[in-house]
Amino acid sequence: MTDKVSIVIVSHSSEVAKGAADMVRQMVGDDVAIASCGGNSEGGLGTDVAAIMQAIDAVWSPKGVAVLVDLGGAETNSEMAIELLGPDKAKQIVICNAPVVEGAVMAATEAAGGSDLEAVRQTAEDFKA
Amino acid sequence: MTSDVLIARLIDLIGDRIEAHASELTELDQAIGDGDHGDNMRRGFKAVSGEKEALANMPFGEALKKAGMTLVMNVGGASGPLYGSAFMAMGKSAEAMPGSRVEAARLLEAGIEAVKSRGKSDVGAKTMLDALVPVLKSIEAGADIAAVRKAADAAVEATKPMLATKGRAAFLGERSIGHIDPGARSSALIVHAVCDALEEK
């Protein structure tokens, strides 16, 4: 169990999600738990509610989880996954309105410093290319 | 018609309609979305078909809830939570099969409210709501089955000149104008399948 905010990356493509997570790990190290998930339940492009729930659970932190998503369906499916995890956990999860790769790096950098979930979200969302 | 017969018919007929129009949905989605709506809907409703026997033996509301959850877990695109939440909300709103026009309208209304809240959207944004809300209005106004079908088709056609402000199509801005919304089309297909189920003797 981690004492920092964790990061979950959700993309339509498992390769994009995994690649983004690799970049974050290389840039901020292993202090912050990062999970990635992408692809629909058949392995094609898309997102999978059950996989998103598992990814969030895999890096669950009492300090919260910041979720970065790419396109529409990733966001809607992530919102659904958060709701299905139940109200107690849902309070501790936010979806950041930020580009997936840059947002994940910024969020993880902020999380590595021990910031709370709201600060992590702010930093990710303040990012401007 | 008993609830188990209706549930089984709905599953077959919705599944058939989606299957028959999957390529059309995908083509519509390629124009203004990410081109996966046909495949996504097919995958979702195939999963529901796989549970047909179990669903048919459940109380009507429970079957709707379960089918909604199956859609959520299998569709893979935004339409999963949207249709899934609609079915789940309908299942929560009514324990038994609707027995009157008013009850049918309340059922559909519960589904529409769920789509609005899940999609943070409303009519006029070029979405499935632009098919479902006119259908609800036609039912409330006393339309017969043929008129409900017409209302659905006219509503789909009416999404063509709309500017998309929700979902992937919103990225296209004015370029979304001139295309039918794939979600409105898939909603109309489901409405037609429900009409088929009610017409079969």
Domain layout of chain B by residue ranges:
3-199
Residue A2, pLDDT > 90, answer no
User: Each residue of B107-147: pLDDT tens digit?
Assistant: 999 999 999 999 999 999 999 999 999 999 999 999 999 99
Alpha carbon of A116: minimum distance to chain B alpha carbons (Å): 27
The arithmetic mean of pLDDT across residues A39-54, rounded, is 92
For residue B84, the chain A residue with the least C-alpha distance is A80
Residue B142 region, left (φ>0) first, then alpha (ψ -120 to 50), else beta?
A: left
List CB contacts (< 8 A) between A48 and chain B.
Answer: 73, 76
| A60-81: pLDDT as tens digits | 999 999 999 998 789 999 999 9
CATH classification number, A6-126, choose in 3.40.50.970, 3.40.50.510, 3.20.20.70, 3.40.50.10420: 3.40.50.510
Average pLDDT (B53-72) is 97
Asked if the model's pLDDT at residue A129 lies above 60, the reply is no
- Cβ burial of B117 (10 Å; 0-12, 13-18, 19+) is exposed
- At residue A37 the predicted structure's pLDDT band, cuts being 50, 70 and 90, is very high
**Closest listed residue to residue B86, CA positions, set B53, B138, B149, B131:** B131
Note whether A71 contacts B36, CB cutoff 8 Å.
no
Higher pLDDT, B64 or A28: B64
Given pLDDT bands bounded at 50, 70 and 90, which one contains residue B33? confident
Mean pLDDT of B88-96: 96
Mean of the pLDDT values across residues A90-118?
96
pLDDT of residue A110: 95
Give pLDDT, residue B198: 93
Q: pLDDT tens for residues B151-162?
A: 999 999 999 999
d(CA A55, CA B201): 48
Report yes or no: B40 at the A interface, CB cutoff 8 Å: yes
Distance in Å, alpha carbon of B3 to nearest chain A alpha carbon: 28
Fold of B3-199: 1.25.40
At a CB cut-off of 8 Å and minimum separation 6, what does B72 contact? A49, A80, A84, B80, B81, B84, B85, B88
In A, which residues are within 8 Å of B45 by CB distance? none
CA distance B175 to chain A (A): 18
Q: What pairs with residue A68 in β-bridges?
A: A9, A96
Q: ipTM value, please give it.
A: 0.81
Q: Tally Cβ neighbours within 10 Å of residue A50.
A: 15
Flag if B81 and A76 touch (Cβ within 8 Å): yes
pLDDT reported for residue B168? 75
Chain A interface disruption, residue of B42, B72, B126, most A CBs within 10 A: B72
Q: Looking at residue B16, what is its pLDDT?
A: 97
Residues B56, A89: Cα–Cα separation, whole Å: 34
pLDDT band at B171 (very low <50, low <70, confident <90, very high): confident
> Is some CB atom of chain A closer than 8 A to the CB atom of B173?
no
pLDDT for A128:
67
pLDDT of A73: 87
Among residues B155, B111, B114, B161, the alpha carbon closest in space to that of B131 is found at B155
- The pLDDT score that the predictor gives to residue A41 is 85
